[in-house]
């Protein structure tokens, strides 16, 4: 079982997860560029190679853990945390939680696609629907205070399986960085009666220098204070829905922009290894004021953040949390906009 340990010196949590040591990549160095592996556990027809599914979007009449699915969600074999662990918080100088939590793999498509750039619109829409359903389901569990939703694409981004997949990690604690984000979003919302994200989007559209695409009420832009080169944030301009309550109209509006941005990144950078992070709201009141939860859905609306992995971080970034980004977002957005128009 893993341990969620509190680092009192730096006010942050660390997950000590020995089970992760058995992940396929450890001890082998960098995984080689692979063709279709002989037995990919995530491909359609190989359902018996994964633990039983938790959720799936399936064709009518098909049975769980058989083919004819569009997305499939299974427990991660190499868990950072597990739902079967005791929900137990131990206090003291060396404070920790038993490794309780949810760690799920969303198999994004039955086809052996290795990049999100290859996905169809229908696959991209089903992916968002699946994430919505998982967050909506897990937020009913009062022990889960926070959900991290992310994709790692490419070895540089931390991926160990090449078949397109997304990860969900639900925790009994709220990370310090996210706690701050929720507090800032909440304070802005109660004093201005509109989400901070909406305000930022409106300013970015007005300024226009960092816009990559703006259409169908959706804006994609390189943030003013981009921490990473070619970082792109995508959000619907007026939406006040969190991921677990995404409307079909929001999904339909976001998907074309997301696909264009990914294709442009691929075209302009020549290769694409990235992390994609989906914004989630706080779910329970652990370590966060109850009032923040009241407006959480509206104050923390859904957005996607794409972070290409071009450079490694050094001691300055680790010690300060301040990123040094050598590519101005104004330059990145111009190139990405050209990539879309090309
Ligand atoms: Zn596969």
Lowest-pLDDT choice from 20-29, 67-76, 139-148, 320-329:
20-29
Mean of the pLDDT values across residues 320-335?
A: 94
Q: Cα(295) to centroid of ligand 1, in Å?
A: 40
Instruction: Quote the strand ranges of the chain, DSSP E.
Output: 3-7, 12-16, 55-58, 69-75, 89-90, 96-98, 102-107, 146-153, 165-171, 211-215, 218-221, 232-236, 274-278, 304-308
**pLDDT at residue 291 is higher than 90:** no
User: What's the rounded Cα separation, in Å, for the pair 69 and 160?
Assistant: 23
CA 33 from chain centre, in angstroms, equals 24
Distance (Å) from CA 162 to ligand 1 centroid: 7
How far apart are the CA of 141 and the centre of ligand 1, in A? 31
Average pLDDT of span 280-297: 83
Stretch 103-113: mean pLDDT: 97
CA of 257 to the centre of ligand 1 (A): 26
For residue 32, pLDDT over 70 is answered with no
CATH number of the domain residue 244 falls in: 3.30.428.10
Summarize the confidence of residues 14-43 as an average pLDDT. 71
Question: In this predicted structure, what is the pLDDT of residue 99?
Answer: 94
Distance 41 CA to ligand 1 centre (A): 6
Residue 114 CA, ligand 1 centroid: distance in Å: 8
| Nearest in space to 243 (alpha carbons), one of 145, 135, 139 | 135
Residue 30 pLDDT > 60, yes or no?
no
CA of 174 to the centre of ligand 1 (A): 33
36, two tokens = 């279709």
Sheet holding 218-221, edge to edge: 55-58, 69-75, 102-107, 165-171, 146-153, 274-278, 304-308, 232-236, 218-221, 211-215
pLDDT at 325: 94
Q: Specify the 3-state DSSP secondary structure of 244.
A: helix
Q: Does the pLDDT of residue 82 top 80, yes or no?
A: yes
The confidence score (pLDDT) of residue 313 equals 85
- What range does the domain containing 76 cover? 3-341
152 CA distance to ligand 1 centroid (A)?
A: 15
Ligand 1 centroid–CA 44 distance in Å is 7
Cα–ligand 1 centroid distance for 163 (angstroms): 5
- Average pLDDT of the chain? 92
Number of folded domains in the chain? 1
Query: Is the per-residue pLDDT at 114 higher than 70?
Result: yes
Alpha-helix runs per DSSP H in the chain? 121-138, 176-192, 196-207, 248-269, 290-294, 296-299, 315-320, 329-341
Whole-number Å distance, alpha carbon 274 to ligand 1 midpoint, is 19
- The pLDDT, as a whole number, for residue 289 is 73
What is the per-residue pLDDT for 21?
Answer: 75
Q: Over 90: is that where the pLDDT of 260 sits?
A: yes
Q: Is the per-residue pLDDT at 293 higher than 90?
A: no
Q: Token pair for residue 4? A: 């969620």
Whole-number Å distance, alpha carbon 142 to ligand 1 midpoint, is 34
CA 118–ligand 1 middle distance (angstroms): 13
Give residue 231's pLDDT. Answer: 97
Mean pLDDT score, 199-223: 97
Q: Say how many Å lie between the CA of residue 40 and the centre of ligand 1.
A: 4
Separation between Cα atoms, residue 146 and residue 144, nearest integer Å: 6
Comparing 22-26, 193-197, 216-220, 265-269, which segment has the lowest mean pLDDT?
22-26
Going from the Cα of 166 to the center of ligand 1, the distance in angstroms, rounded, reads: 13
Give the pLDDT band (50/70/90) at residue 26: low
Cα-to-centroid distance, 138 and ligand 1 (Å): 26
Share of the chain above pLDDT 70, in %: 95
d(CA 72, CA 52): 10
- Name the β-bridge partners of 107: 72, 165
pLDDT higher than 90, residue 335: yes
**Which token pair is 181?**
């984000």
112 CA distance to ligand 1 centroid (A)? 4
Q: Which two tokens stand for residue 173?
A: 């604690």
Residue 33 pLDDT:
55
Cα 230 to ligand 1 centre (Å): 28
Choose between 18 and 213: higher pLDDT.
Answer: 213
Q: What local confidence, expressed as pLDDT, does residue 149 receive?
A: 98
Q: How high is the pLDDT of residue 341? A: 86
Query: Residue 268 above 70 pLDDT?
Result: yes
pLDDT of residue 24: 64
In this structure, of 134-138, 283-287, 299-303, the range with the lowest mean pLDDT score is: 283-287
Ligand 1 center to 43 CA (angstroms): 4
């Amino acid at each position: 079982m893993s341990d969620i340990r509190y680092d009192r010196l730096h006010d942050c949590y660390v997950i000590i997860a020995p089970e992760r040591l058995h992940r396929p990549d450890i001890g082998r160095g960098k995984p080689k560029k692979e063709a279709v592996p002989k037995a990919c556990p995530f491909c359609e027809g190989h359902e018996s190679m994964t633990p039983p599914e938790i959720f799936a979007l399936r064709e009518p009449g098909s049975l769980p853990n058989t083919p004819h699915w569009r997305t499939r969600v299974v427990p991660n074999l190499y868990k950072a945390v597990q739902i079967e662990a005791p929900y137990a918080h131990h206090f003291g100088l060396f404070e920790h939680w038993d490794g309780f939590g949810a760690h799920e793999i969303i198999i994004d498509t039955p086809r052996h696609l290795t990049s999100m750039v290859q996905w169809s619109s229908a696959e991209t829409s089903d992916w968002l629907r699946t994430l919505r359903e998982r967050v909506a389901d897990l937020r009913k569990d009062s022990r889960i205070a926070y959900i991290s939703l992310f994709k790692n694409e490419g070895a540089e981004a931390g991926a160990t399986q090449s078949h397109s997949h997304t990860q969900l990690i639900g925790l009994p604690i709220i990370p310090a960085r996210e706690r701050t984000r929720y507090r800032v979003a909440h304070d802005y919302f109660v004093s201005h009666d509109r989400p901070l994200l909406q305000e930022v989007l409106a300013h970015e559209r007005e300024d226009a220098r960092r816009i990559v695409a703006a259409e169908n009420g959706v804006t994609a832009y390189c943030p003013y204070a981009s921490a990473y080169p070619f970082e792109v944030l995508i959000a619907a301009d007026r939406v006040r829905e969190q991921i677990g309550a995404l409307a079909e109209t929001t999904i339909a509006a976001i998907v074309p922009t997301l696909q264009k941005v990914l294709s442009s990144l691929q075209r302009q950078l020549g290769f694409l290894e990235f992390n994609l992070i989906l914004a989630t709201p706080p779910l329970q009141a652990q370590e966060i004021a109850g009032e923040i939860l009241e407006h959480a859905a509206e104050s923390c609306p859904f957005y996607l953040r794409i972070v290409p992995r071009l450079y490694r971080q050094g001691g300055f970034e680790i010690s300060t949390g301040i990123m040094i980004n050598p590519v101005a977002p104004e330059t990145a957005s111009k190139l990405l906009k050209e990539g879309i128009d090309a």
